[in-house]
Amino acid sequence: MSRAWQTLDRWASPDGLLELRQRDREDFLICIDGRVLMNSRASRSEEELGVRACTGLGAGARILVGGLGMGFTLRSILDAVGPDARIIVSELYPVVAEWCRGPLSDLTKGCLDDPRVSLEIGNVADVIRRFAEDRESLDAVVLDLFEGPHARTDAENDSFYGRAAIGRSHRALAPGGVLAVWAEGRETRFQARLRHQGFVVESHRPGRGGFRHWIVLGRKPI
């Protein structure tokens, strides 16, 4: 029988109270105001997101990851790319990075300590904008955020999934680069916006059985 959940840490964010909870040795939750955001026992889609985004990227790939979470997406990217890849991780809340370097580090083999990784604390939308304006090409933008595209997403002005944001991601990517997005459900309107901005789109629903999330890939034509 599993033990009761224990709260390891709390942090008051602008979006609500973030909590890290643990039950068994590898059984963790990250919650906000009591709502479960991440579960270490249900990381299939996060891992698949990183694999599908980055498998086959060439030498010296430059990758931007938006959202660190428990580090499963980052770990899968590190395992998929070469030793000369460079990965920027943009995480909004510094406490999440502290958790990944502390209680969660064994889950992902200390992914933040890999020399290929650099961490930026801040909003990934600002990082994408910087690359788009400077025309510094990325090979992949991987968005593994608390909330993916959904029916209530502002199609014009959403910071990540609206038309203007998709256009910035397109400009930030090199020809052949990929925008990879985690989504809770199948969001066809978001996929339509990707196509309208010039991406070639595919979607995947990893695994078989149980509750399954979606992965959306938009590839910039060469």
pLDDT, mean of residues 79-94: 96
Q: What is this structure's pTM?
A: 0.93
Judged on CB neighbours under 10 Å (0-12, 13-18, 19+), 157 is exposed
% of the chain with per-residue pLDDT over 90: 81
Bridge partners of 65, per DSSP, are 89, 142
May I ask the CATH class of domain 42-219? alpha beta
Assigned token pair, 20: 């890290």
Listed range (35-49, 89-103, 198-212) with the worst mean pLDDT: 198-212
Domain parsing of the chain, residue ranges: 42-219
Q: Do residues 213 and 73 touch, judged by C-beta distance below 8 A? A: no
Own/partner contacts of 199-202, CB < 8 Å, gap of 24 or more, are 199/166, 199/170
Q: Could you give the CA distance from residue 123 to residue 177 in angstroms, rounded to a whole number?
A: 21
| Higher pLDDT, residue 16 or 184 | 16
Q: Is the pLDDT of residue 208 over 70?
A: no
Q: What is the overall mean pLDDT for the chain?
A: 93
Q: Could you give the CA distance from residue 176 to residue 199 in angstroms, rounded to a whole number?
A: 10
**What are the tens digits of pLDDT across the range 165-206?**
999 999 999 999 999 999 988 889 999 999 999 999 999 987
Bridge partners of 169, per DSSP, are none
Q: Could you give the CA distance from residue 215 to residue 206 in angstroms, rounded to a whole number?
A: 8
Cα-based angle 24, 40, 184 (whole degrees, multiple of 5): 145
**What are the tens digits of pLDDT across the range 113-135?**
999 999 999 999 999 999 999 87
Adjacency order of strands within the sheet including 173-183? 117-121, 86-91, 62-66, 138-143, 173-183, 214-219, 200-204
